Amino acid sequence: MPLPVEVGSHHTVWVHPPGGVAHPVRYAVDGDRLVCFGDGILAAVPDGTHVSASIHEIAGGQAVAAFGASFCELAPESVGADALLELLAHVPMGRDLDEVETHIEQQRADRRIVALVP
C-alpha cells in the first residue's frame, strides 16, 4: 500500500503504539517508505508491531492523514544519507563536510532507524 500523499509535505508523524501514548517524531521519506528514529520513547516498540500513525497540520492542528502501519526496524546502511539529513535537519551537523559526514555516520551507527509501512 502506498504512503498517503500528505506524507510528502509534512515533517512530523504521531506514532501511537498499542497500549501506549501517541508520540510525535520527525520523519523523512526515503524512496517509498516513511523513516524515523525508533529510539527514545519508541525504543520499547518491538520490530513488526502494528501502530497507528497520523500526520497533522502544523503545530498539532487537524489531522490530514491517518493510517495503520507496521513498525519495521531497518538496517542502518539501507537508509539514504538524504533521509538521514532530513531527520537531522534541526540539529547542528558540523562546520565542514567532513564533520557533517562523520556526524551522519555516528547517527546511523548509534540510533535505531525504523520505517512505518502502511
pLDDT, residue 34, reads 93
**Structural contact between residues 13 and 34, judged by C-beta atoms closer than 8 angstroms:** yes
pLDDT, residue 115, reads 96
pLDDT block averages, 10 residues each, the chain of length 118: 76 91 90 90 94 83 88 93 86 86 87 94
Classify residue 114 by burial, with Cβ atoms within 10 Å: 0-12, 13-18, 19+: buried
**Structural contact between residues 29 and 3, judged by C-beta atoms closer than 8 angstroms:** yes
Backbone angles phi, psi at 86, to 5 degrees: -65, -40
How far from each other are the two terminal CA atoms of the chain, in whole angstroms? 6
Reported pTM: 0.84
Domains of the chain by residue range = 5-89
CA distance 38 to 43: 6
